[in-house]
Chain A
């Protein structure tokens, strides 16, 4: 079973920041938080990941609470192309690679 909880859906206005929440209250000390997204009819796409510190890349920012029980993915200026299902996943790297356990994710709809 997925170890994360996300709301089923969220709407955002184009150009606005989209803040996508995720709860992972049972996360272990060595588990990372990963975010992937899946645009309709495509394979999932990696966005960002983090362990304890906040992270930022060209796609998004990841804010992890101090107790690591929840996190927020921030898309600073949402566009119509950001409409997708977003998956928050916790994963413990084990010797190189480990499977991803997906939940149902959260459908983000960016409206014009």
Chain B
């Protein structure tokens, strides 16, 4: 069966510090991978998606970047965090099943 792992679950970082969130998927090949952010009380905002290794599409201009160094690994990064980067970050994957499956999420608080 397929599983998705995302870590860490919670993170408190100072303004200006770097960020690296990692997501891996097991049990499937060549999944579509996604990073979403959910601000408090708001909907899911698509940040990045990837349909293959090294292929990254950005949905919104921002302080973040994404990379896909391996088929089932998706990384969200920032060189310098802003207060506005606080939120609930969700990794998701999809494939032939047609629907998206989410990881457990990372709650990021920038202080």
Partners in one complex: no
